[in-house]
Every structure is written in C-alpha cells, then in structure tokens.
Amino acid sequence: MKLTKVQKMLLAVNVISVLGFGTYYIQSFNYEFIAYAVSIIVVIGLLYGTLSITRFPSYIIAGITIWGILHMMGGSVPTTDGVLYTYKIIPLLDRGGDFYILKMDQVIHAFVYGTVGLMVLHLLREVVGIKTHTVFIAFVAIFAAAGFSIINEIIEFLATVNLPETGVGGYENTVLDMIFNLGGAAAAVAGYFIFKKFTKDR
C-alpha cells in the first residue's frame, strides 16, 4: 500500500522519536523503558504493516504517534514530582500514596485507550462493515479497548517482578489506571459519535 504524505510524515516522527529516546534509555541504563521503546516499535510496525487491511485514518495514526512520544517522555522528562509520568497535575482526590487524582500518567492512559477505542470502532464499522447497532458497537469498542489495556498492566506487573527498580505503582495505581483506560475509551467513542452527529446535522 502506498503511503500518503501525512502517513509518511507520521512514520518519520515515530522513527526519530524512538531512536532519540531509545538512545537516551540505553545510555541511562533504563531497561524498563528500553522495553517500552521496543514495544512501540512493534506497535508502529504492526500499524503500518497492516494499513492495507485496516485502512486506519490519519487521526488514529496521529493518536498512536502522540501516545508513543508521551510514553517515552513519561520516563525521561524530569518534573518536580520525579518524571513526567508521576507529575501531579491537580489534587482532585488525594488519599496519600498512589491514590492521587489527577496525575499525568492517568491522562496518558486515558488518551491512549481512547485512541485504541477509536481503532476498534473503525475496524468494526469500516473493515468488518457493521453500520447498524450503533450503541452495541460503541460498547464493544469501549470494552475491547479496556480489555486490551490489561496487556499493559501485565507488562507493568512483569517489570515490577523482574526489575529491581521501576516507576510502576502498586494495587491502587493499577486500579486507577484501569479506570482511566475505560474512561478514556468511553469518552473517545462517545465523542466520535457526537462529532459525527454534529457535522451531519450542519
């Protein structure tokens, strides 16, 4: 499949960001985020390698690109709270320890699984061809994205088991991540249909 100019530009951004952050992680011996950089390479490879089948629009590719950059920035950009992932944006709810809302990590989780929800929705509607049962398809996309997020939590769990020091929190952090994963997917899918209805009615 021949790539469009936008797709080529986004691919170039992905390659440059992975090479840049990957080099930084190797030099700083950050093995956890080296593994994350490798996972991003796999995701981008699958994304572009299957475009002829999936036909993902540019906004979804852009979403994955932004996630990849935020993901790699999360473990390397210093903030007053440590690194970007642990940065506390605003104290909407603070019960001590990992039980803090709102952190940058939670925003990134909501964003990425919102994008995954849109990916599933696109596949169901445009590739599988299900144009009816809108509410049902929306719920399938939302819960598929939330289910897919379990893989990320497993990777984080394996990191805590096999690496001496990680930036991964405990039980409360995991559950909050899952809540934001589900919330992000729900917001993105609902936003998609609201946008479609708004543009259709104009």
Given 29, 45, 76, which residue is the final one in a domain? 76
> Alpha-carbon distance 31 to 136, whole Å?
41
**Read out DSSP for 74-90?**
HTTSEETTEEGGG-EEE
Residue 59 banded pLDDT, cuts 50, 70, 90: very high
Q: What is the pLDDT of residue 149?
A: 84
Q: What is the pLDDT of residue 34?
A: 74
Residue 31 banded pLDDT, cuts 50, 70, 90: low
Pair 30, 117 in one domain:
no
Pair 64, 86 in one domain:
no
For range 152-160, the mean pLDDT: 72
Share above pLDDT 70 across residues of the chain, in percent, rounded to a whole number: 90
Given 76, 101, 129, which residue is the final one in a domain? 76
User: For residue 188, which of 63, 49, 6, 40 has the smallest C-alpha distance?
Assistant: 63
For range 118-126, the mean pLDDT: 95
Residue 158 banded pLDDT, cuts 50, 70, 90: confident
For range 54-78, the mean pLDDT: 89
Q: What is the pLDDT of residue 122?
A: 96
Pair 126, 40 in one domain:
no
Pair 21, 106 in one domain:
no
Share above pLDDT 90 across residues of the chain, in percent, rounded to a whole number: 46
Pair 54, 85 in one domain:
no
| CB-side neighbour CA atoms (13 Å) of 58 | 8
Angle, helix 58-74 to helix 5-27, in steps of 10 degrees: 10
Number of domains, the chain: 2
Burial bucket for residue 105 (CB in 10 Å: 0-12, 13-18, 19+): buried
Pair 53, 83 in one domain:
no
Pair 66, 83 in one domain:
no
Given 76, 107, 130, which residue is the final one in a domain? 76
For range 65-82, the mean pLDDT: 85
Q: What is the pLDDT of residue 159?
A: 64
Q: What is the pLDDT of residue 185?
A: 96
Residue 125 banded pLDDT, cuts 50, 70, 90: very high
> Alpha-carbon distance 127 to 188, whole Å?
19
Buried residues in 38-72 as b, exposed as e (16+ CB within 10 A): ebbbeebeebbeebeebebeeebbbbbbbbbbbbb
Q: What domain range includes position 61? A: 1-76
Pair 64, 111 in one domain:
no
User: For residue 64, which of 97, 39, 40, 85 has the smallest C-alpha distance?
Assistant: 40
How does DSSP classify residue 128? S
> Alpha-carbon distance 154 to 115, whole Å?
20
For range 32-41, the mean pLDDT: 76
Q: Is 57 left (phi over 0), alpha (psi -120 to 50) or beta?
A: beta
Q: What is the pLDDT of residues 164-182, one digit of tens each?
A: 554 555 667 788 889 999 9
Looking at per-residue pLDDT, the higher value among 46 and 24 belongs to 46
Phi, psi of 194 (to 5 degrees): -65, -45
